Amino acid sequence: MKFLHLPELHFNWKIVTITVISTLLLIIDRYNVFTLWKPLDRTILYLFIPLALIMVVLREHPRDYGLQLGDWKAGIVITGGTLLVILPVLWLLVRGDGSMRWYYRSMIGPGLPVFTFFDLLGWEFLFRGLLTFSYVRSFGADGLWLQAVPFAIAHISKPELETLSTIFGGFVFGWIAWRTKSFLYPLLIHWVIFTFVVMVAGGSNG
């Protein structure tokens, strides 16, 4: 019968591979601990494994997925401008949201910037490197929204206000990566934001 007939489907094997592998890595990270330091786990899962995927399986260069300085002049301007706008807003939000203060306060301690950097290094490469560049090349501008979806879902269990914002924040981070041709500038922004939020939460009395 005609209504049972499906048009022939053609899959882009690279997109299928990247989507499946990135999803599996997120699930594995959620349910497993491999080392004594979670940021190291995430660097292995989200940076080293994707780099191996790019070079060995896809046979491409990591710079094609944002592992480069890119347009560093635009990157500096965008990074500085974004932080000038967002940090005062975050200060107000964290101090006014008890769930965010409770969630992040326990993270304060010696070596905080090192912890937050390595916790985000692979994370940002997965989303703003591997997914952003592969999806935008295949789906055009819509790829920026597509990479933001798993990014937002991966925030579930974090404070509600933060999680609600991540679909939009993920899109903006993706746009910055694509505009600068580098995942480094979203990484820098995210690193400063993460560190700042923990410090504000740890210094709040409420």
Question: Residues 48, 67: contact at Cβ < 8 Å?
Answer: no
- Give backbone dihedrals phi and psi of 163, rounded to 5 degrees, phi first: -65, -40
Per residue in 31-64, pLDDT tens? 999 999 999 999 999 999 999 999 999 999 999 9
Q: What are the tens digits of pLDDT across the range 112-159?
A: 999 999 999 999 999 999 999 999 999 999 999 999 999 999 999 999
What separation in angstroms does the CA of 55 have from each of 12, 28, 51? 18, 22, 6
* Closest listed residue to residue 103, CA positions, set 10, 2, 204: 204
- Report CA Rg, the chain: 18
User: With 60 as the cut, is the pLDDT of residue 206 above it?
Assistant: no
pLDDT score at 202: 85
- Domain spans in the chain, listed from the N-terminal domain onward: 13-203
* Residue 6, pLDDT above cutoff 70: no
Give helix 160-180 / helix 142-153 axis angle, nearest 10°.
140
- pLDDT, residue 102, reads 92
**CA pair distance 198, 128, nearest whole angstrom:** 23
Q: What is the pLDDT of residue 97?
A: 86
52 or 1: which leads in pLDDT: 52
- Listed ranges 8-12, 95-99, 195-199; the one with the highest mean pLDDT: 195-199
